[in-house]
Amino acid sequence: MAIGTREAGRADQDMQVVNDVLQLERILRRAGLAENRLRVLIDEGATHSEGEWAKRFPEALTFLFGRVAQPAL
């Protein structure tokens, strides 16, 4: 799971969204999901946008599937 700290566009809502994700992480950890099954990234300053998701996508693929091959130039 990944989330930015500026997802909602208002400081109070941004904080609530981050807190909700952290609470969900705690619940999932207590349910038995270890580091190799769940990764949570809080991306400082990131907004709710395709550009931010694209920045995090390679790391997500690596986590899910192992090393991701780089395209040939």
The pLDDT of residue 73 is: 66
The pLDDT of residue 67 is: 75
**Per-run averaged pLDDT (10 residues), the chain, 73 residues:** 95 96 98 96 96 93 81 66
Q: Sign of the CA dihedral 54, 58, 64, 70? A: positive
In contact, 24 and 1? CB cutoff 8 Å: yes
CA dist., res. 24 & res. 1, Å (int): 10
66: left (phi over 0), alpha (psi -120 to 50) or beta: left
For the chain, give every domain's residue range: 2-65
Output helix, strand, coil percentages for the chain, rounded to the nearest 5: 50, 15, 35
